[in-house]
Structure 1
């Protein structure tokens, strides 16, 4: 985490920011702030005469985010904002300010109704990217497609201290993957961490940001984090306080239309995906320095609750 605060990195980032702003015809009007620092990324707020912009740098394993964001944005009908500028080598990027977070708006409005629009729009983005799987993988997006999950899960358990003895072996995961694959829904980009801190009101529409944890997988795996891990906890963070059915229907609607399928059939696929999604999240988001987070995700796979 400290490397993001090292004077040499900060100075280089500031120079890069100023150079890119100059190329964009914008002028910095104040000091750059660094409000967000984690082990894997940092974000800086940059004031300009036309409003703030945001600088983001990722660790090496996630430098593909800027390029992925640019590709997905082209397919998103305005729901995923493209970088204002990006560096192909470092993955550094500048992003326009996307307005208030959904998380903060929910607190004010005391409602999760906005998620209905977000989920439907996000599903359409996933459908629009179905033909881009090879391009996304070539950019460096992690491969979490169904045929990879059993092996990745086995590797994860082999290196995980104090794994829950209730966790099944990879054969059970393979069975779930085969059952989900049988529904015939194509694999595509999957955000893998879609929560209310990643959605912003944007320029009049809800926009989805922070694709650093994205992967290529079955699209419905996204429902684990978003529905079971976030929306089900409602406005007041109380377990099972929100009816998931309207949100599930909002997400599945574009898929029902695109594939000519019945919603009830897709609900069964979503039920399987809600379990497998936690396996995907555990595999894709595993950090050796933070095994506890992996334990929580695998407990969600087993129990549907932390």
Structure 2
């Protein structure tokens, strides 16, 4: 079990030794013991103080181990979007990065987050535009492709898998499976429309919220962290997690969806601006809706990867998120 391993004294010492060794070429030394803010089934982090400031060690579980290689490649392709990556052990899914400041959720009060997102998201979108031309390099990191071209097939296989799994183990009821069967042709049509919209596939963070953005003080200095759920797919799929999270923390998440408040629409439109080189704004707004709907498949698969190798009890403790997200295809 990952959490038990990662919280053990033996692992803490092994991680500390690895970090210390990787800092030697930088002429940097540790100045204290590590502090472990959290350990979850899919990853854990340990922060260390050094003679050159704070650094963060991260370990990923088997389903998200590629994150270490991915962040190194993204740091090379779009420098400044992520915290500087100092070292990577791809085989073990370990990475070491410089501290990039407090997370956005802790740095600003709730009523100031709208403006921060409105200024930050265009920069993230420009990075997605730039990364669209690096498909081969990005896929070589081990990131999954969950694009409009692949989602129909992925949804088909996931439905077959969950329909054959007992309900008390995270599977589907007969009625749920039948409803999803009827939904699959609609998903295929939505994916075809997304493919036709003109926006190229790119890296899609899939968990971009205010606890995954470091905010030293300005949008230019902000850094995006926690790329374990990222996929290669339709970039506008980012808006599923991002708009849901912003609205939830603002108290405007109503009836299972973000309310279309003026603040939320400004954030959405600011994000879409860099993509107007590919399509008209009205078409992009339509594509956000489609990408949010079909994005439920990607979120389900992200949780399946994150919980890979974990016992059934861990899936149950997380309320069987693979099934829960997949059923999102049935929401109006």
1:151–1:170 CA contact under 8 A, matched in 2:
no
Correspondence for 1:269:
287
Correspondence for 1:162:
172
Distance, in Å, in 1 between the alignment partners of 2:79 and 2:34 is 31
2:149–2:195 CA contact under 8 A, matched in 1:
no
Pairing partner for 2:150 from 145, 148, 151: 148
Pairing partner for 1:178 from 165, 176, 192: 192
1:223–1:277 CA contact under 8 A, matched in 2:
no
What is the DSSP-based 3-state SS (H/G/I as helix, E as strand, rest coil) of the residue aligned with 1:166? helix
Distance, in Å, in 2 between the alignment partners of 1:278 and 1:108 is 26
Q: How does 1:137-286 map to 2 (within 5 A)?
A: 137-160=139-162, 161-163=171-173, 164=176, 166-167=179-180, 168-202=182-216, 204=218, 205-227=221-243, 229-236=244-251, 238-239=253-254, 240=258, 242-243=261-262, 244-256=264-276, 258-259=277-278, 261-286=279-304
Correspondence for 2:324:
296
Pairing partner for 2:37 from 17, 22, 35: 35
Say if 1:146 and 1:9 are closer, same or farther in 2 by CA, change over 3 A: same
Relative to its length, the structure with more helix (as a share) is 2
What is the DSSP-based 3-state SS (H/G/I as helix, E as strand, rest coil) of the residue aligned with 2:128? helix
Return 188-197 or 288-297, whichever deviates more. 288-297
Distance, in Å, in 1 between the alignment partners of 2:119 and 2:35 is 32
TM-score (norm 2): 0.83
Distance, in Å, in 2 between the alignment partners of 1:294 and 1:90 is 25
Correspondence for 1:78:
80
2:111–2:250 CA contact under 8 A, matched in 1:
no
1:66–1:83 CA contact under 8 A, matched in 2:
no
CA deviation profile, 1:51-103 (whole Å, cap 9, x unmatched): 21110011133222122112222333522223111123323111111111111
What's the CA shift for 1:169? 4.2
* Higher relative contact order (CA closer than 8 Å, sequence separation 6+): 2
Q: Please identify runs of 4+ aligned residues in structure 1 that moved more than 4 A.
A: none
Distance, in Å, in 1 between the alignment partners of 2:216 and 2:88 is 20
What is the DSSP-based 3-state SS (H/G/I as helix, E as strand, rest coil) of the residue aligned with 2:153? helix
Give structure 2 stretches of 5+ with no counterpart: 163-170
Give structure 1 stretches of 5+ with no counterpart: none
Correspondence for 1:56:
58
1:123–1:252 CA contact under 8 A, matched in 2:
yes
2:201–2:232 CA contact under 8 A, matched in 1:
yes
Count of residue pairs the alignment pairs up: 301
TM-score (norm 1): 0.90
1:30–1:48 CA contact under 8 A, matched in 2:
yes
RMSD: 2.1
CA deviation profile, 1:5-26 (whole Å, cap 9, x unmatched): 2333222211101111222211
